[in-house]
Each structure stands twice: as C-alpha cells, then as structure tokens.
Amino acid sequence: MLIIENQSLKKYNTFGIDVSARYFTEVTRQEKFQQVLEHFSAETTPHLILGAGSNLLFTNNFEGLVIKVSLKGIDITEENEQEVLVKVAAGEDWDQFVSHCVEQGWGGLENLSLIPGQVGSSPIQNIGAYGVEMKDCFESLKAFEKSTGNTKTFIASDCQFGYRDSIFKREAHGKYVIVSVSFRLSKKSHVLQLGYGAIQAELQQQGILQPGISDVRRVVCNIRRSKLPDPAVTGNAGSFFKNPVVGLHQYEILKRDYPLLVAFPDKGGMKLAAGWLIEKAGWKGYRDGDAGVHPLQALVLVNYGKATGQNILRLAEKIKESVANKFGVKLETEVNIIS
C-alpha cells in the first residue's frame, strides 16, 4: 500500500484546480480498501473517494486521505437471446464502457455517451442525458461498507434514485465505496430514446431514417462535442447546475412573461432548462479572469487556466443570485463542492 503525502490533485480533477491532498493512495484491488482504512480511520482522518474527478470542485487543499478508485473489469454474469447482465468494476471509464456496449450490440446506454467519469460514480449522481438516466438500465451494485469492512448489495429500490440524486448523496453519503455496478442491457428489439429534438435533427441531417444504437451514440457524441468543452483543453466539470423543477402555476407565469422559455414535463411539475435561464440572465460567455461561463453552453462553468476553486464558486453564486432575482427560480449545483 503506497501512501503519498502532499499529492497534487491538479491532474485528478477535470476543472484542473491546483490543490493538494495531505495523503493520497490508489486502490486497484477491493481488499486494499480494508488495509487503507486500518491505517487511516475516518474518525481521525477525513476521506474522499475519488473517481475521475469529473463532477467536483476543489476550493481548498484536502486535509485528509484521497482514495483513488482504479478497480478494473467488465464481465457478463447472465445472458440469453434477449438481454445481457454486465458487471462493471467501479474504476472503468464510463464512456469507454458505453462504447464497448454499443460495439457488442447491447442497447440501453447509448444516449449516455461521452459523459465523463467512472462507472462507480454513475449511480451516485444517477447520471442522465437526452431522455435517459443510468437507473433505466441499472440492476444492482456492490459497495464496500467502511464501518464494517463488509460488501453490501444494493438493488434499485435501495438506491432511492431521483433526478441527479441517490441515497449515496444523502443518508449513505461517505459510508460506502462502490466497487462494481451491474447493468441489464438489451441484445434485440432495442427501444431507442429519440425524443430530444437535437437527436432527431442530427439524424435527419445525416439522412438516417432507421437508426440503430451505434447511430444514436455517434449522434450524441457529435452533439456533445459541438456544445461542450473538452476538459483536456478547457477545465470544466460538465453541467454545473441541475435543471430546476417548478410547479405548473409558476411555470405558467414564467411562460407568460418569457414565451421562449425552454422546459420539459416532469412528475413534479415542469423541468426548466438551467442553461436557458443562465443565458437569458446575461451570463453566457462571461469571463472574470480565468473563471468563466462557456460561450456555447451557459450551463458549463470553465477554468481557462489558473482559476482557483474559490473563483469558480464565487462566479456560481453570482449566477444563482442573478437567476433567482430575474426568474424567481433557485438553481442547485450538480457539481460536488469539496472545501
């Protein structure tokens, strides 16, 4: 077990924030978690479980232990003519896994192409895009319980999935380390999710009348690349804010005042496009030093080079205040703030 002191985390977070961890270790085998925790009790040393660092913002050095999860492996555990159950280690890259599924002809996750991060993080956030959420194909996960050293299985109902939410962001926060996730995917009769206009428009432009899962993946990748910055070039963590959900009455008032308001039906009312709200509040393309709002997608905050986490966070707070004042809508961060 290699423990590194004062490890720079700049290359371990997609914002490229230059902070350090007091202690750092990388875990490539599940049994190593117990060894790490025997040396560093959570009661005396704060722990941070780190995947690809694609959904967090460091605002200070982390005065504790960062555990980088690097478990690998993709295994078929069940299979028949119609579907396949695939168990994926937490350290696998999410988009590489989706690409693998499409290459194998397994349908269900193609709309979630090019989302940054690792597989182990996907249930925590219940990642989603273009009408699909991770929970739609989720079967179960296995997690290491830090207090006991035991491995526990969670099925979908245990995870309490919601919009960009799960039990692991609430009452189970910090208590478990996800080690693998299992997905049930289709092999035949794929039900494609093509409801989003951007997907339909791209398919039409390419003259694809009967798309398959590979077509959907390619189109989604094209759309995301055209709108979202590459973290390897410009530091960012994707969508910084959640799309807020408002009641029908508030929606009708907003729609009356802003006829071009972008919104989608939701079981709690109407889900508003946070990017549209931010853009109409005047923030799209805004820059303050090296902290900014992406010029093509207002939902994405960016680090143009030397912005600190505090710089990004201050900008986010200004945006939230501005949107609340203009629309009466409260924005919530999708990115985890690590202070």
Per-residue pLDDT tens over the stretch 59-69: 999 999 999 99
Q: What is the pLDDT of residue 76?
A: 98
pLDDT per residue as tens digits for the range 92-135: 999 999 999 999 999 999 999 999 999 999 999 999 999 899 99
Q: Which two tokens stand for residue 85?
A: 């159950």
Q: What is the pLDDT of residue 44?
A: 85
Half-sphere exposure of 66 (CA within 13 A, CB side): 26
Q: Is the pLDDT score of 267 beyond 90?
A: no
User: Which distant-in-sequence residues (6+ apart) come within 8 Å of 199 by Cβ?
Assistant: 111, 130, 216, 219, 220, 223
Q: What is the pLDDT of residue 39?
A: 87
Start and end residues for every CATH 3.30.465.10 domain found in the chain:
74-186
Start and end residues for every CATH 3.30.43.10 domain found in the chain:
4-69
**CATH architecture of the domain covering 235-338:** Alpha-Beta Complex (3.90)
Q: Which two tokens stand for residue 209?
A: 């009348």
Q: Is the pLDDT score of 197 beyond 90?
A: no
> In whole numbers, what is the pLDDT of the chain averaged over residues?
95
**DSSP secondary structure string, 137-203?**
TEEEEEEEETTT--EEEEEHHHHT-BTTB-GGGTTTTTTEEEEEEEEEEESSS------SHHHHHHH
Would you place residue 292 in the very low, low, confident or very high pLDDT band (cuts 50, 70, 90)?
A: very high
Q: Is the pLDDT score of 251 beyond 90?
A: yes
pLDDT per residue as tens digits for the range 6-56: 999 999 999 999 999 999 999 999 989 988 988 888 778 999 999 999 999
Give catalytic residues, as residue numbers. 164, 239, 334
Q: What is the pLDDT of residue 183?
A: 98
Start and end residues for every CATH 3.90.78.10 domain found in the chain:
235-338
Would you place residue 211 in the very low, low, confident or very high pLDDT band (cuts 50, 70, 90)?
A: very high
Least confident of 154-163, 193-202, 236-245: 193-202
Per-residue pLDDT, averaged over 143-149, amounts to 92
pLDDT per residue as tens digits for the range 303-335: 999 999 999 999 999 999 999 999 999 999 999
Q: Coil, strand or helix: which one is 135?
A: helix
Does the structural domain 4-69 have CATH classification 3.30.43.10? Answer: yes
Would you identify the CATH topology of the domain 74-186? 3.30.465
Q: Which two tokens stand for residue 181?
A: 């996730």
pTM: 0.89
Using alpha carbons only, how large is the chain's radius of gyration in Å? Answer: 20
Would you place residue 198 in the very low, low, confident or very high pLDDT band (cuts 50, 70, 90)?
A: confident
Write the Ramachandran bin of 28: left for phi over 0, alpha for psi from -120 to 50, otherwise beta.
Answer: alpha
